[in-house]
Structure 1
Amino acid sequence: MSASLSITSATVDPALLDLPWHLPLDEWPSETIASLPKGISRHLVRFAYLSGYVIAVKETTTEMARGEYDMLRTLQRLDIPCVDPLAVVAGRLNDDGDDLASVLVTRHLKFSLPYRALFSQMLRPDTATRLVDALAVLLVRLHIVGFFWGDVSLSNTLFRRDAGSFAAYLVDAETGKLFDGGLSNGQRENDLEIARVNIAGELMDLQAGGRVEDELDPVEVSNGIVASYRSLWKELTGSESFASSERWRINQRVQRLNELGFDIEELAIRTDAGGTTVRIQPKVVDAGHHQRRLIRLTGLDTGENQARRLLNDLDSYSATHAREGQDVDEEQMAHEWLIRVFEPVVTSIPRDLRGKLEPAEVFHQLLEHRWFMSQREERDVPLAEAQTAYVNDVLRHRRDEATVINPPTESIAVPVDDDDSAEDVDWRERV
């Protein structure tokens, strides 16, 4: 290890010092490297083992590494879904004393996949739409806190399964900027157009490689992010006017936002001079309504859709087991549901299958499997019976998503100069 090595980190893992920083990243030994699927990146990115978990190491300039490290930490404080920044390593020298590129180190997000790995499984055509919808939600959350991404794409995003949908996490904040006064409409529209064009190009690339169904239209799917984004943005930030006799619509608006997974910290409510019209507008909107309720009741930290599904099962359990004529103690029922329903399911999953999916996703899929079995057999299938069938018929045949070791997807270098390739020009013309 070179004496000039500089590591910037909020909490330094001593094992960082043992990695071969004196070697270029593309020469790191195989015993250090974790074979995980990679997305497309303009920089060289490798995955490595560190203290029992996996890290992503990206070669870049010192200035850009430190800027992105600081930005990711800021986004984390703002509760934005993104990768966890661990360190910036600078001052690297090889054995001959020559300078090596600085690196940004982030923690690999367990149970997450780049979009190319998802499509390598030849999933149903609507997967593209669900990924775009998840990215639209992420983009809205970023814009609400005043973050201009500047390079919105599927490649710069990781996806985790979330109760039949996907949750999107920002991976690359290299081009992002945070504005204290919020974003202008022009900045938001610019980000949205970047997203639309990039997504179309990425899907065309997959289509050219025969990795998506023929009926998938990349341009139509990419246009979907515009519609999804604007619909969600209007619901979260748009004002609404109604007659003062319809004040129940205030609660209706709050309920709609809660169903979307957002909480309202403050509402601006105004009436006109005659008191006949009420105008409301959310002032501060925060995501994770169902997640926070589930954590408060059970301590389980899940995705938003997973939380919604688990809460539905919890509420159903409470309605079934509550004593007649007595008020339901929500916290007591949550404790009973946790130890009698959720935990027995999770702990009974065979140890060799626990890397397939997150526990909350397993529970969600089990409920789905039980429902389909009950429909097919026209009877109420017990949970234990459904679990046996789900484990043997479904879970056992999935590949592990905790790390997704096989099959590896190679990183693909993209041009960083101003000259577009013929393929780039072709798909941009189509968009």
Structure 2
Amino acid sequence: MSVTAQRLQITAANPDPALLDLPWHIPLEQWPQETLAALPRGISRHIVRFARLSGRVIAIKEIGETVAYREYELLRQLRKLDVPSVEPVGVITGRRSPEGEPLEAVLITQHLTFSLPYRALFSQSLRPDTATRLIDALAVLLVRLHLAGFYWGDVSLSNTLFRRDAETFAAYLVDAETGDLHDVLTPGQRSYDLEVARVNIIGELMDLQAGEFLDEDEDAVGIGEALVVRYQELWRALTETESFGFGERWRVQARIDRLNDLGFDVGELDITTDLDGTTVRIQPKVVDAGHHSRRLMRLTGLDVQENQARRLLNDLDEFRAATDRQADDEAFVAHDWLTDIFEPAVRSVPRELRGKLEPAQIYHELLDHRWYLSQQQHRDVPMPEVAASYVATILPTRPDEQSVLGTRAEDLRDGEPASDEDPDLLLG
């Protein structure tokens, strides 16, 4: 749908009339502070700013008109394929200054809540293996993109956003500008994407070391190489052909269970036998990420990250065993766990503190805190006591939307230059 006002052309699936209230006649780098939302900075080739719109936050990137439309369509296709990526809002063209000078088109995306660019994730309070955990998340994202037939062309930490996912991170594609969607990627396309990722990551980590965000003893080259290893291991697990004797048909289910453990569902298997029927070959044909998150959604309606779902499902299983309800219908047990355990625990967090973490992440941290208190006090501490202790001693110290940071986003912003070469990042 397109709306024209003062020569503006707004292309969006669901255009928000409030878009017309933003100062499109001003170059993005000169937008007034009262319009902008303060979020941590990253690195981008383009001018990018965050703005408030109808009670939410959007990211706005100045970019050429043709590229803006192309990236908008690519992001829409990736969302349909259920690939972790930012949500496209629209494209605005026809911008002019009050003097009549043409201004660049803009691509608008929805701000990914509870997410941060990689530069904002590095502080002295983070675990030493933070870089490794980010690389693991990026490897999973890259495999998912390649399985969907998406060639990225510019894989990097800078073009990725990260969200907390239990003890790990989940990675989201931000910049699809250089990407392309195919039915199937060739080995050469995948290898090139992987090599670009390795080189970019090494450079980004060395840059962090130069800025004293990352310990200089960290092996930047080794971490870049680790991405290649992690990617290749995961790709083989999801796609390789496995052969076994006809009497070992149990290995078909074992292969499916192994992929489930990795967080993937197998939608279709290609199973063939040789002419004399002594050898069986299996190869996954359709593999979908989100095994645990889909199961939790089906049982409880909770829409969470994959590792958060794994942790919550484990707690659900423990609840089922503790109440001796293994013979009951799983859906009924899940309903009781949700209403009697999960929701009361999350609701125990005061309203003014709920913006600090996602509910599933809060519950994950409550489980960690329960273990700590139980070990300390040599007893099973009830969840109401755990929640009270957590709210009183831990959650208030968390900066909003930055549970992994030991410093405020504003402090990180002040430490980085506000220039065309280093603008706010939400889409690259």
CA distance in 2, matches of 1:212, 1:408: 14
| Residue in 1 that maps onto 2:276 | 274
Answer with 137-146 or 344-353: which moved more: 344-353
CA distance in 2, matches of 1:148, 1:360: 32
Q: CA deviation at 1:124?
A: 1.6
Residues 230-250 of structure 1: CA deviation (Å, up to 9, x unaligned): 000000011111112221111
When residues 270 and 283 of structure 1 are mapped into structure 2, their CA distance, relative to the original with a 3 A threshold, is same
| Residue in 2 that maps onto 1:193 | 195
Opposite residue 343 of structure 1, the aligned amino acid is: E
Instruction: After TM superposition, list the pairs within 5 Å mapping 1:23-422 onto structure 2.
Output: 23-120=26-123, 122-180=125-183, 182-323=184-325, 327-401=327-401, 406-409=410-413, 410=416, 413-414=420-421
How many pairs were matched up?
412
CA distance in 2, matches of 1:372, 1:320: 20
Aligned residue among 8, 13, 17 for 1:10: 13
Q: CA deviation at 1:77?
A: 0.2
> Retained in 2: the 8 A contact 1:374–1:380?
yes
> Retained in 2: the 8 A contact 1:355–1:402?
no
Opposite residue 9 of structure 2, the aligned amino acid is: S
Q: CA deviation at 1:274?
A: 2.2
Q: CA deviation at 1:393?
A: 2.3
Residues 169-227 of structure 1: CA deviation (Å, up to 9, x unaligned): 000000000112x1111110100000000001101001011111233111111111001
The SS at the match of 2:381 is coil
Residues 265-287 of structure 1: CA deviation (Å, up to 9, x unaligned): 10111122222221110000001
CA distance in 2, matches of 1:412, 1:118: 21
Q: CA deviation at 1:413?
A: 4.5
Residues 347-384 of structure 1: CA deviation (Å, up to 9, x unaligned): 11012211111000010111112112223333222222
CA distance in 1, matches of 2:193, 2:73: 21
Opposite residue 298 of structure 1, the aligned amino acid is: T
Q: CA deviation at 1:414?
A: 4.5
CA distance in 2, matches of 1:53, 1:374: 40
When residues 214 and 376 of structure 1 are mapped into structure 2, their CA distance, relative to the original with a 3 A threshold, is farther
Q: CA deviation at 1:2?
A: 5.9
CA distance in 1, matches of 2:376, 2:233: 36
The SS at the match of 2:34 is coil
CA distance in 2, matches of 1:22, 1:413: 19
> Retained in 2: the 8 A contact 1:4–1:92?
yes
CA distance in 2, matches of 1:84, 1:235: 29
> Retained in 1: the 8 A contact 2:348–2:388?
no
Residue ranges of structure 1 left out of the alignment (5+ in a row): 416-431
Q: CA deviation at 1:309?
A: 0.6
| Residue in 1 that maps onto 2:426 | none
CA distance in 1, matches of 2:200, 2:327: 53
CA distance in 2, matches of 1:127, 1:103: 33
CA RMSD of aligned residues (A): 1.7
Runs of 4+ in 1 over 6 A off after TM superposition: none
Residues 37-93 of structure 1: CA deviation (Å, up to 9, x unaligned): 122100000000000010100000000110000000000000000001001000000
CA distance in 1, matches of 2:369, 2:217: 28
CA distance in 2, matches of 1:99, 1:337: 58
When residues 270 and 233 of structure 1 are mapped into structure 2, their CA distance, relative to the original with a 3 A threshold, is same
Residues 289-322 of structure 1: CA deviation (Å, up to 9, x unaligned): 1111111111100000001111111111112224
Q: CA deviation at 1:19?
A: 0.3
Q: CA deviation at 1:122?
A: 4.3
CA distance in 1, matches of 2:294, 2:19: 34
CA distance in 2, matches of 1:85, 1:408: 27
TM-score relative to the length of structure 1:
0.92
> Retained in 2: the 8 A contact 1:40–1:412?
no
Residue ranges of structure 2 left out of the alignment (5+ in a row): 423-428
Opposite residue 118 of structure 1, the aligned amino acid is: L
